[in-house]
Structure 1
């Protein structure tokens, strides 16, 4: 596994120590003699895992003393496309459309009220981030997606508004320092920088809840999940445990500030090579380039075959771009090593000698 350079957009690479600890727990969880797959989700052992994961998820973002609560729930970030408007929308919400996932969030919100798209980059196939977004009009909340995995763009400034601010951070949470305390609700699928697929993290400021006056199905009600401490129904025990292991690992690395320095180095190295070589180009506007998902393509179609061959020879995997953009995409999540990025840049330089 260590020799393979895995750039998967998700489920993503996790640290080797997380794999090892999780594998051991399948056989013998915390020396209980039981598998993590077979313990009760209401046992004191798992409740301790869940509580530590919830506390650590807040502490790593500096939100543990600021009125936020963390939940680990099933359904993926796609469930939150619906759960957010159910809990927050009274009449109208504002959305920023920067790609496939924000488009899907808009579609779900439209089932429950009026959606105002206050900014969009659809006119150029979502290759940039709209600038100077201000929402002065009275809306129930403003929603944006901080990082766009498919198109390789990322927000560096948040929308300005007095309304509650909601952010889908599925692909860049815990990867960089950000204005987390200016966000009222953050949600993220776990399968990038939090843990394994099958669970989502929701971080919400409790004061924004309970204002819609609508009847909310219990499974979709954040307040119901808060009251039940994320245990309204059977938790995804193994996925939550994997999240805890990964959050512990991140803390051991020095936290978000420390991992951001590593991520900056990885992204800077790859973008530098893309910019230096005349036969390859990035697909995103330079000022909006994502440090998590580097999307690029070759200027001549026939070069794809050479690149694919070299990737196979150098054990570089999961680097194909999304069909809506084409080309290639290297996802540089927290656990992707600088050595893997160097292996990719070596292949790109090697192509220069072969074309």
Structure 2
């Protein structure tokens, strides 16, 4: 018998069961080709169509037109930490980074190897418990771009309102909340997202960008590190992470079938409320990490009165079919990642367990 748990891991994370079943049915013979997607050339017409449809569906979900592109690349978000400044931080310019997490701090370290960086906002002193509120960020003169981390997976914080940057390009790492809610995508010059948290398996990063922003890159850049190379070749300059892109394409179609991003935001907000309500009901026991106004709909982070209780909570939850609740090693505590594929029933089961655990150990 098949055994499926409620997978609360932060990434690689839960995928829609319908998508996995469809992938399973096609794994040995994709569309009558006699081959698996794992064996197929990226130059094959079947794969070229998969790639093109994935791009088109993501743009449709975000409400973007032909002036934007979606590129599928390797290296994950960590490679983007380097590619962004290499492509867009010119001589005599300054890059601005809002530092709200361990990951945005890593992005700063890579950008500093390329050029001048300023940090107009940081919550590091408060252990990254919030994101900036409107008006808190002041950009420097001759600013090349502002970089933000839209959702902070480790700490459980998320932007609900994005900064206003005027003519300064806005760039975002959306690895853990991509396609989880409607966003004003046209505000961004470039968005990148490792797909393994919310829309796919490990192995690919999606880069969503205004074409004019990408065009005209320096010819001195190494070809694979130049966004224009990937734009000019439709993500097929080299062999792409084909299996990951194939699944991202199926998840995009699944999101459309669910009613799009408006419906997903409603579901995600309802799921998060179920868990946060328990935290708020017993604040001396379940100690929420994020400030209330910065709470993530994707990653709910909290601690218990002792580390021993936290370990016991994670073990007992796993015995009940709820895995991946241990917090990140840099923060500790507990974390429930409730991405698009997590059903409402999973959050309800977690909340019931939290209440039962509280009654025993309060």
TM-score, normalised with respect to structure 2: 0.94
Cα shift at 1:64? 2.4
1:328 to 331, 334, 338: 334
1:152-196 alpha-carbon deviations (Å, 9 max, x no partner): 011112122221110000000100112211011000001122211
On the 8 A contact 2:94/2:140 being kept in 1, the answer is: no
Match of 1:138 in 2: 142
Unaligned runs of 5+ in 1: none
Cα shift at 1:49? 0.4
Q: Determine the C-alpha separation between the residues in 2 that align with 1:58 and 1:130.
A: 27
Cα shift at 1:138? 2.2
Match of 1:176 in 2: 181
Match of 2:82 in 1: 82
Q: What aligned pairs does 1:258-297 form with structure 2 within 5 A after superposition?
A: 258-277=263-282, 278-297=284-303
Q: Determine the C-alpha separation between the residues in 1 that align with 2:58 and 2:138.
A: 29
Match of 2:248 in 1: 243
Q: Determine the C-alpha separation between the residues in 2 that align with 1:34 and 1:213.
A: 40
In the alignment, is residue 209 of structure 1 matched against residue 209 of structure 2? no
On the 8 A contact 2:217/2:226 being kept in 1, the answer is: no
1:17-75 alpha-carbon deviations (Å, 9 max, x no partner): 1111222222111122211111111010100000000111111000124x111101111
RMSD of the TM alignment (CA)? Answer: 1.5
In the alignment, is residue 187 of structure 1 matched against residue 192 of structure 2? yes
Q: Determine the C-alpha separation between the residues in 2 that align with 1:231 and 1:153.
A: 35
Classify 1:309/1:113 alpha carbon distance in 2 versus 1 (closer, same or farther; 3 Å). closer
Classify 1:343/1:38 alpha carbon distance in 2 versus 1 (closer, same or farther; 3 Å). same
SS at match of 2:301: strand
Cα shift at 1:274? 0.8
Match of 1:44 in 2: 45
1:95-120 alpha-carbon deviations (Å, 9 max, x no partner): 11111111111111111110111110
Q: Give the paired residue count.
A: 354
Q: What aligned pairs does 1:1-355 form with structure 2 within 5 A after superposition?
A: 3-65=4-66, 67-90=67-90, 91-131=93-133, 132=135, 133-135=137-139, 137-161=141-165, 162-210=167-215, 213=218, 215-277=220-282, 278-355=284-361
Stretch deviating more after TM superposition (121-130 or 1-10): 1-10
On the 8 A contact 1:11/1:191 being kept in 2, the answer is: yes
1:254-286 alpha-carbon deviations (Å, 9 max, x no partner): 111111100000001100011102411101101
Q: Determine the C-alpha separation between the residues in 2 that align with 1:179 and 1:221.
A: 26
On the 8 A contact 1:172/1:292 being kept in 2, the answer is: yes
Q: Determine the C-alpha separation between the residues in 2 that align with 1:312 and 1:40.
A: 40
Q: Determine the C-alpha separation between the residues in 1 that align with 2:109 and 2:358.
A: 44
On the 8 A contact 1:135/1:159 being kept in 2, the answer is: no
Unaligned runs of 5+ in 2: none
